[in-house]
Structure 1
């Protein structure tokens, strides 16, 4: 997953959605592999893994016709996405649920002798969230008091609202200054993508709940806009006590206003880089451009201070141009309702009917505010060095294979000097486990006060503390990128750091890899995930950044031209796939497809390299297959890769996936890359011209 934008401007990124159906609770109950010494137990576990893999397969399907359904045909029978609580199922959802179960044990354990001060604050926050009795006491009153800090909400006070006392920019500026909640406009501080040794302020649009321009404007996504509008009306009734008629009218106005704002967002399918979406400018220049409709200088004065006059980045100028028009034509009453609804949304917490259900909600809330602290707590309690060693083995093999490719004639279409720069970047690339063991949480959270009783007060303290960090970041050199839960969920290539980060959730053994499983499984899953992120450093986005993570064009003109032509091959290939009754949208951006295809090639070659080394050294390869599964180790590599992407999605969210996710649906993450691999067709004897062995194949790396 390429989250280079997250690394620079978190406010401009998509929100990661995590779904909810477990496969099994194996990693919660099985001892670490280094404690399993009995050959009998190891054999049982290998047979169990073989049975699990076989259960997901539909062997009546010809693997050369549809390898995804051959490997995953029974998945949806076992793990269906059949409700709005279980809207997607898959590997990442399963390991996330396993992690949540571990988090529940930690958070509910009370204060322990080895808890740090920060651990106790996190546990207090969780406890305040589960304190249903306290939450029910004066909850609406507390939310209304928060609104009153900044003015009045027309939907609450009706005809008493005084339009002449309302200034939208003053209001959002003060809200951002006190609580760090960005509404309509946003200022964030991140590393300068062109010179990442310095922090820079970025101004542009905030996060929008529906995430992407297409979700707000495309006809096929209208159902989600309607659902969101219904949610807004329900929130207004539930949390503020607004009557149904006014709530519905207000929700419709809020939705229309947000659609108008979102029309200024960039079309993510254009695949633009940050250098194409940003403009280096000054506050004075922006003031001249947007005044008097948007008082940029006043906004900065409120949020940062009147003495701030440094060069800034304007993110997506089209948004600010559109905002001028939208603000002029929209009644102030609607703008005010929009602002105050978004303000209280930060404090909203649905109160469940039972404590058990409340605990589930509160784990999610705690993760949203303390993701990296929770990852550290998990790492300290459950870390197994075995899995870290596995990751290191795979990483070193992948780097060596990629380096050999860049030195060979296989990639001779890339100019020698460009390949030399690519090797320098590869050599400088780092791999890190997101354990946060080097973070000084005691210092970072020293000024944050959290109690175990008052959830709303805790949120106020959290947001106020977070808002204060903006000024601190302005005066400090950049720190490693943070993206909350996103880095707890999936491996990621932080392009501006030239670093691949692996979440602690992947350290959980027995889901897809373990020392007692064949290495084919390790390379087919862990290897392809890490390889995917490695290739992101050289995809249509990553290749614009050098070995130090700075935005720089180090590709020669001819190599760039050939790269672009090869990218179009992927665009043509994937736009012919049909999902949910529609062709996948054609997109210029192909970074995820490039990474999928390149990642599995790297992982397979790395596995072959390991295998050949094992043969030469006389290593016993008896355990490179699984009992009861009649497949070679190389075939197991491809089967386990496919099963990494076994998934199901509720029919009502499939348009959402194709509109907001830069990745293609899971089945095409299997079919696409494997149909481009001659090696796959060789192992499964697929005739040229079959579905999985087309004559025209796409490849870059």
Structure 2
């Protein structure tokens, strides 16, 4: 199950794109020549993405990003998507690859060496007898009908017990699972959550919508290929079984949440005693058995049921599904976590193995990167930007007119939440890696054994959380490429990938560029603390409705404007669905406005300083005929320059809560009078409509 605690800036479709910029190791910024060279390079990059023949008042995305697709075509580069987050990830991965392929040195801790061993074992996957290893995994928990044939005994199979034992041993939760995580309503303690498995296709629409059928068919082929290759099942039987497994998974997906409903965590969880939940679903779902086998103990405290709709649907699905199908599905989901196919050529295999290593050891890799490439200047830059953004929003909240739709008592609580909100670089400098790796002995020879050990230890450590105080939430690789707001902790985390210079920041770039990019991204996360979901968490990060009735009603009325605005958009011929889920659009709009206001305040302050003109002279770039404030908006738009491979555009619309990049630009800027003013957009033009949506 995925708990809705984290809101991220970037989209979820990840890929690697673009050639590397000039190596920062080779650049010394202490000479006027190099500083000017960097400014010239940034100007050339910005200009290369633009289509300056386009009318900025008709389509500012095309004006700012019209040439991006030609230069960074996802199809030509054989990527899923191209864009700034992919570029940052690409740069980070190159450094990770260099670290992992470097012989052990003085920088390596014992834990780093284990991570390197895991990566090395991935490179040696071809040496494994995969079918035998997977059959041994299955044998730990019983027998698989697909492999046993007519000798398989249905009466001996307990689907819930098998699921629970797999969960206990490896943390893999086929069909339904038990998890221990931070209590969203009282975040100093941990609680048990019961709910749905992690679905390979992720969202309800991917399983049920006609327009996503192509992805289900591709997944079907993957299931069949795995069954044929790894348990070595004959083609026709693998084909038949694959169809049965997918049909079962689609049936289960009927109970998934519809993300367009925009439900918050407090609306999809219910705090119950174990007997209450047992009574609700017995005898099909024996909750006592599920908990005691999954955790290795009985639980007397109340537990959270996550998404009741899923369990209600599951009861009916289990009643009508043959036991053999359920058994085949559970064992397939077990081996699915272990199956990896070595890539050809070896360069692609190295990239794949970096991704697999990040999947399990993202915290370690981020920390390894930070220790080797720590850039104190970028950390100071981010801290200063955070201070300015926080001060600017604080001033807005205190203004009697800026947010007059929020009642003074609620505004006072909002100010308290803002003051308590913190920002940190996600470098894991204080993370206890010794404890995490204490029971691991990863070697470079056996990928499956290394993965088995890692999952076994991870499951054990998860169970132990039940008797420990809550620790900072971990989200692995999800926090490695984009800023994120951890609502349950009231903290914004900035990934180490953003510490890489020259991608979106440098101390020689104009502040207009820095505020348009970095400040907008951080501002986006700040506003998440006050959007549809964030406003339901208080200053301490606990789920708590602290809004008065009138302010809450005003919020919903203003949100309706966004629902209607973004519901009218069409993307690549696809009419986007009107949705009450507007968190990302609210954050896009509010974050950009906040960053611009902070930049405007900085700009105006320079005008009053004795040497202010010296700073303002650097606020434009060579050969770009745009003012500093115009450059802010161009830089903001270019965060979202992207291209998506034609085959995955429907996937993007179906699974990503973020709107496509072009609509993030058009939607946000068309709501902002200051943008229209800077580009002289006439009233009624596409980028300056008469009706504008505004919350923050």
The TM-score, its normalising length taken from structure 1, stands at: 0.96
2:253 is the counterpart of 1:262 = yes
2:95 is the counterpart of 1:97 = no
For 1:181 and 1:572, the matched residues in 2 are separated by 40
Task: Give the equivalent residue in structure 1 for 2:635.
Answer: 640
Residues 537-595 of structure 1, C-alpha deviation per residue, up to 9 Å, x if partnerless? 00011111110011111111111111101000000000111012122111011111000
SS at 2:193 equivalent:
strand
Which of residues 214, 218, 221 is equivalent to 1:227? 218
For 2:11 and 2:360, the matched residues in 1 are separated by 14
Matches within 5 A, 1:392-471: 392-408=383-399, 409-471=401-463
Residue 144 of structure 1 and its aligned partner are, at CA, apart by 1.1
For 2:410 and 2:684, the matched residues in 1 are separated by 35
Task: Give the equivalent residue in structure 1 for 2:656.
Answer: 661
For 2:585 and 2:396, the matched residues in 1 are separated by 19
Range with bigger deviation, 239-248 or 49-58:
239-248
Task: Give the equivalent residue in structure 2 for 1:342.
Answer: 333
For 1:509 and 1:117, the matched residues in 2 are separated by 29
2:109 is the counterpart of 1:116 = yes
SS at 1:5 equivalent:
coil
- In structure 2, the gaps of 5 or more residues are none
For 1:433 and 1:68, the matched residues in 2 are separated by 30
Residues 316-348 of structure 1, C-alpha deviation per residue, up to 9 Å, x if partnerless? 111111111000100011111111111001111
Residue 658 of structure 1 and its aligned partner are, at CA, apart by 1.3
Asked if the contact 2:5/2:488 (under 8 Å) is kept, the reply is no
Asked if the contact 2:510/2:619 (under 8 Å) is kept, the reply is yes
Range with bigger deviation, 291-300 or 688-697:
291-300
Which of residues 14, 27, 47 is equivalent to 1:18? 14
Matches within 5 A, 1:167-316: 167-316=158-307
Residue 526 of structure 1 and its aligned partner are, at CA, apart by 0.4
SS at 1:188 equivalent:
strand
Residue 4 of structure 1 and its aligned partner are, at CA, apart by 6.8
- In structure 1, the gaps of 5 or more residues are none
For 1:324 and 1:298, the matched residues in 2 are separated by 15
For 1:533 and 1:357, the matched residues in 2 are separated by 34
2:536 is the counterpart of 1:540 = no
Asked if the contact 2:390/2:418 (under 8 Å) is kept, the reply is yes
Residue 157 of structure 1 and its aligned partner are, at CA, apart by 2.4
SS at 1:460 equivalent:
helix
Task: Give the equivalent residue in structure 2 for 1:689.
Answer: 684
Residues 233-253 of structure 1, C-alpha deviation per residue, up to 9 Å, x if partnerless? 111122221121111111111
For 1:68 and 1:4, the matched residues in 2 are separated by 33
Which of residues 60, 76, 86 is equivalent to 2:79? 86
Task: Give the equivalent residue in structure 2 for 1:503.
Answer: 495
Task: Give the equivalent residue in structure 2 for 1:140.
Answer: 131
SS at 2:686 equivalent:
coil
Which of residues 606, 629, 645 is equivalent to 1:650? 645
Task: Give the equivalent residue in structure 1 for 2:599.
Answer: 607
2:62 is the counterpart of 1:63 = no
CA RMSD of aligned residues (A): 1.6
Asked if the contact 1:20/1:85 (under 8 Å) is kept, the reply is no
Asked if the contact 2:12/2:656 (under 8 Å) is kept, the reply is no
Asked if the contact 2:73/2:643 (under 8 Å) is kept, the reply is yes
Range with bigger deviation, 567-576 or 140-149:
140-149
Q: 1:145 to 1:305 in 2, by over 3 A?
A: closer
Asked if the contact 1:110/1:123 (under 8 Å) is kept, the reply is no
Residues 257-277 of structure 1, C-alpha deviation per residue, up to 9 Å, x if partnerless? 001111111111111111110
Which of residues 100, 124, 148 is equivalent to 1:131? 124
Residue 231 of structure 1 and its aligned partner are, at CA, apart by 1.1
Residues 457-510 of structure 1, C-alpha deviation per residue, up to 9 Å, x if partnerless? 101100100110122111111111111110001100000100000000011110
2:514 is the counterpart of 1:522 = yes
2:24 is the counterpart of 1:30 = yes
Which of residues 39, 57, 66 is equivalent to 1:73? 66
Asked if the contact 1:7/1:482 (under 8 Å) is kept, the reply is no
SS at 1:623 equivalent:
coil
Matches within 5 A, 1:369-384: 369-384=360-375
Residues 35-55 of structure 1, C-alpha deviation per residue, up to 9 Å, x if partnerless? 311111211121111111111
Which of residues 566, 570, 594 is equivalent to 2:562? 570
SS at 1:410 equivalent:
coil
Asked if the contact 2:288/2:298 (under 8 Å) is kept, the reply is no
For 1:699 and 1:63, the matched residues in 2 are separated by 21
Q: 1:4 to 1:162 in 2, by over 3 A?
A: closer
Task: Give the equivalent residue in structure 1 for 2:4.
Answer: 5
Residue 84 of structure 1 and its aligned partner are, at CA, apart by 9.2
For 2:30 and 2:250, the matched residues in 1 are separated by 60
Asked if the contact 2:422/2:490 (under 8 Å) is kept, the reply is yes
Task: Give the equivalent residue in structure 1 for 2:623.
Answer: 628
SS at 1:31 equivalent:
helix
Range with bigger deviation, 467-476 or 421-430:
467-476
Asked if the contact 1:4/1:495 (under 8 Å) is kept, the reply is no
For 2:240 and 2:424, the matched residues in 1 are separated by 50
For 1:242 and 1:76, the matched residues in 2 are separated by 43
Q: 1:535 to 1:238 in 2, by over 3 A?
A: same
For 2:647 and 2:193, the matched residues in 1 are separated by 36
Residue 531 of structure 1 and its aligned partner are, at CA, apart by 0.3
Asked if the contact 2:178/2:290 (under 8 Å) is kept, the reply is no
Asked if the contact 1:7/1:190 (under 8 Å) is kept, the reply is no
Asked if the contact 1:79/1:648 (under 8 Å) is kept, the reply is yes
Task: Give the equivalent residue in structure 2 for 1:491.
Answer: 483
2:100 is the counterpart of 1:107 = yes
For 2:429 and 2:391, the matched residues in 1 are separated by 28
Task: Give the equivalent residue in structure 1 for 2:347.
Answer: 356
